[in-house]
Amino acid sequence: MPARTPARFRRIALIGRPGGPDLTLPLTRLATFLAARGHTVALDAETSQSIAVPAAATIADEALADTVDLAIVLGGDGTMLSVARRLAPHDVPLIGVNLGRLGFLTDIPLARLEPTLGAMLDGRFAEERRTLLAVTVARGDGSDSQAPALNEVVVNRGGLGSMIDCSVAIDGRFVYAMRADGVIVATPTGSTAYSLSTGGPIIAPQVPAFALVPIAPHALTHRPIAVPDTSTIEITVSRGRDAHVHCDGQAHFDLGEGDRVIARRAPHTARFLHPHDHDYFAMLREKLHWSESPERVKSGGR
């Protein structure tokens, strides 16, 4: 009997990270599963260059956003960050299959791939929108560079090892100047990444805020703060021979004295689909190894 025409997500792109874990088996398995359900399956151009999947065609990168209803990303959070930045302006929903380590954004384990994905494709999913940053590097010579960030933008010292002096303004108002290894502006998504390791707060995805987190400040009175995500944050390097700015750890720019990094909320959001029973705080317990489970608490810890 021929596969039925799916009610939703008829055209699906599969995207993996070449050079990561061997994707041939999971991609072939996933493409076969989707084709049997009646979905049209394709690989993005970069994935198809290193992996041949008979059940899947190839879509050129420039055509990807306009020709698919859903993208399934196989890999870790770094792969998902890259794909989310690329597809967010086109409102393409994303599902993540975890082949990495922590998997804050890629939440479907390979061992439960078919039943979990099948239920989601039948409509049993939770949708979540994640805020991105639009970052501009404004240089003293009048030139500028732009990049998006889903996790964070980081201004920090380079390999020479000396601290940098920088000043921070929010919505045109001076906030502070400090000497430090750097400063992070993190979205709620990025609050569980680099920001967390430097003492920043965890911000639930529904909270409309950015975290402004100093990195090893010389004065210990400089503490992380949360600001509305409607804010425009401007960081100026006043002194630093080897400063840099990094967006999601994947776009990098050198900074000179007097250069400014301007971060504001992007006009578009990343669109993630999770299993219908997705629980953000249960995910935090698992990924961050918080010790007590609800079952243990109810039983008195026995």
Q: Does residue 255 register a pLDDT over 50?
A: yes
Question: Percent of the chain at pLDDT above 90?
Answer: 71
CA 63 to chain centre: 22
Eight-class DSSP state of 102:
S
Rounded to whole angstroms, the Cα distance separating 248 from 149 reads 6
Task: Tell me the pLDDT of the chain averaged across its residues.
Answer: 90
Q: Does residue 1 register a pLDDT over 60?
A: no
CA 126 to chain centre: 18
SS3 content of the chain, % helix, strand, coil (to 5): 25, 40, 35
**Residue 134 · residue 263 · CB < 8 Å:** yes
Express each pLDDT in 163-194 by its tens digit: 999 999 999 999 999 999 999 999 999 999 99
Rounded to whole angstroms, the Cα distance separating 34 from 120 reads 12
Among this protein's residues, is 77 annotated catalytic? yes
**Residue 13 · residue 43 · CB < 8 Å:** yes
Domains belonging to the chain, first-starting first, are: 11-123 (3.40.50.10330), 132-267 (2.60.200.30)
What is the arithmetic mean of pLDDT over 199-207? 97
Full DSSP string of 260-273: EEEEEEEEEEEEEE
What is the arithmetic mean of pLDDT over 208-222? 95
**Residue 254 · residue 284 · CB < 8 Å:** no
Annotated catalytic residue: which of 44, 61, 66, 77? 77
